[in-house]
Amino acid sequence: MENTSFIEYLHIPKEILRVTIILVLAWLALVISRKLIRAFRNYMKSRVDSAEDARRIETLARIFRYIATVVISLVGGMLALSEIGISIAPILGAAGVVGIAVGFGAQSLIKDFFNGFFMLLENQIRQGDAVEVCGKIGVVEDITLRYVRLRDNEGNVHYVPNGQITTVTNKSRDYAFALIDIGVAYREDLDEVYTVIRETGTALRTDPDVGPKILDDVEIQGVQNWADSAVIIRCRIKTVALEQWAVRRVFLARLKTAFDRHGIEIPYPHVTLYAGQDKLGKAPPFPVALPKREV
């Protein structure tokens, strides 16, 4: 009886077995790479203190998973094709020619990839950041090598291609300022107004809910403008990143109550009516309807 291998006994072609082994190894490589990336992500997140660094590590881990999946899939696919007798050399050559042709027609796509890579490398933007890009403001829900996905305050989702991003305004780095313009009547004493603003800011820092979001006392920058009906006073409050809008709303509500308590007027826009002049340069009295007396 001739010696026969177990494979030949099962009538399994060697090519199919090799392809199966390659695909299984590629699948194992994908599983192992994802576990390694996850373990490295957890290790790095355990060594950072700030939430911003943790978001950056999470974003980079997602990009590494994507790159590992593409590379392992391509290598496994080419090896499997070579095992079933399909030469990959012509495929690579044709891919090179097609790649050049596609490159000219897909310059915007290539630009998206390069811009996305450098934005991640330079730590310009991370998942969870509040940013302004291409005139759109929102929180970054997802960032890939091709686009940035934002969700604005109304819940709208914007997909911004990385190649179109020339300037990134990140509103969530380290700290932020709640910028506030306050209008008071011209007749008000500015020193009294400044005192009320400082007292309101100090009381706000003692609030158990809002206080931890404030990093410093309110900073009064002074008179910003003489408006038509009010003196505009500008101040700002240093806050934890992404909390500047919540702090601003609470501060304005409390300042309105404090102004009412001290009798400080927050004026509405008003105009002075002028009846014009006669030929002698005198302004006639403006007619005013007097209430009728009861008989």
Q: How confident is the model at residue 292 (pLDDT cuts 50, 70, 90)?
A: low
Domain of residue 148 covers 124-170
Number of domains in the chain: 3
> CB of 65 within 8 A of CB of 37?
yes
pLDDT of 123 reads: 79
List, in sequence order, every residue forming a beta bridge with 178; answer none if it has no partner: 237
pLDDT of 1 reads: 46
User: Residue 247's closest CA among 220, 213, 199?
Assistant: 213
Domain contains 1: no
Model confidence pLDDT, tens digit, residues 200-245: 999 999 999 999 999 999 999 999 999 988 999 999 999 998 889 9
> CB of 138 within 8 A of CB of 131?
yes
Q: Does 97 lie in the same domain as 15?
A: yes
Domain contains 91: yes
Q: Does 41 lie in the same domain as 95?
A: yes
> CB of 245 within 8 A of CB of 152?
no
Instruction: Work out whether strand 219-226 and strand 157-161 pair parallel, antiparallel, or are unpaired.
Output: unpaired
263: left (phi over 0), alpha (psi -120 to 50) or beta: left
pLDDT of 278 reads: 66
Domain contains 258: yes
> CB of 185 within 8 A of CB of 146?
no
Domain contains 295: no
Strand blocks (E) in the chain: 130-133, 136-143, 147-151, 157-161, 168-170, 175-184, 219-226, 231-240
pLDDT of 225 reads: 94
3-state SS assignment for residue 145: coil
Domain contains 277: no
Interval 84-105 mean pLDDT: 60
CATH no. for residue 161?
A: 2.30.30.60
How far apart, in Å, do the first and last CA atoms of the chain sit? Answer: 138
Domain contains 101: yes
pLDDT of 194 reads: 96
Cα 252 to Cα 274: distance, rounded to the nearest angstrom: 35
Q: Which amino acid does the sequence have at 40?
A: F
Q: Does 19 lie in the same domain as 83?
A: yes
Q: Does 212 lie in the same domain as 161?
A: no
pLDDT of 5 reads: 55
Q: Does 154 lie in the same domain as 128?
A: yes
Domain contains 282: no
Domain contains 192: yes
Bigger pLDDT: 102 vs 113: 113
Cα 131 to Cα 63: distance, rounded to the nearest angstrom: 20
